[in-house]
Amino acid sequence: GYFVGLGCDNIKIDRTVRNVMSDLFGLKKLVKGLSDRFDKYVRSKVFEVKRVLENELVNERNGKEFYREFDEYIEPPAEPSARPVPAPYPDDPYVVTKDAAIAAAVATSDINDDDDLAPLDSQPYEPHGSPRGIQ
């Protein structure tokens, strides 16, 4: 009797299966359509990005060439005759400046050292009756 019962419902099951299959087919078509559109979108995006990058690259290359030429205008290539080597004469501004800078650095460092050491060396503001005075 079990199989007979199934047999009775066969038509209903068949119809359900057919409906599901057609739904699936519709879904498949929808997904395929979407995926095609997505592929097309991705392809166009990739193309767009590639184009932008290529433009950037071209701009960068042009920029580099521009700067290279620009640099040549700003700073002509150094030739031996063009720039005399600074001679160590006392009246040479380069040497004078350098010496002055060194002297200034030494002077300021001396001052700083004195400031740092002063409290340790001599403390005139300390009262005479301090333990240090006794020892």
Question: Over the chain (135 residues), what is each successive 10-residue block's mean pLDDT?
Answer: 55 85 90 90 85 84 74 59 53 60 64 50 56 55
Contact residues for 132 (Cβ-Cβ < 8 A; gap 6+): 126
Handedness of CA 75, 80, 84, 87 (dihedral sign): positive
What's the predicted TM-score (pTM) here? 0.28
The answer to whether residue 30 is domain-embedded is: no
Query: 94 lies in which domain range?
Result: 86-118
65/70 Cα distance (integer angstroms): 8
Q: How many domains does the chain have?
A: 1
Whether 95 is covered by a domain: the verdict is: yes
* Domain assignment of residue 113, yes or no: yes
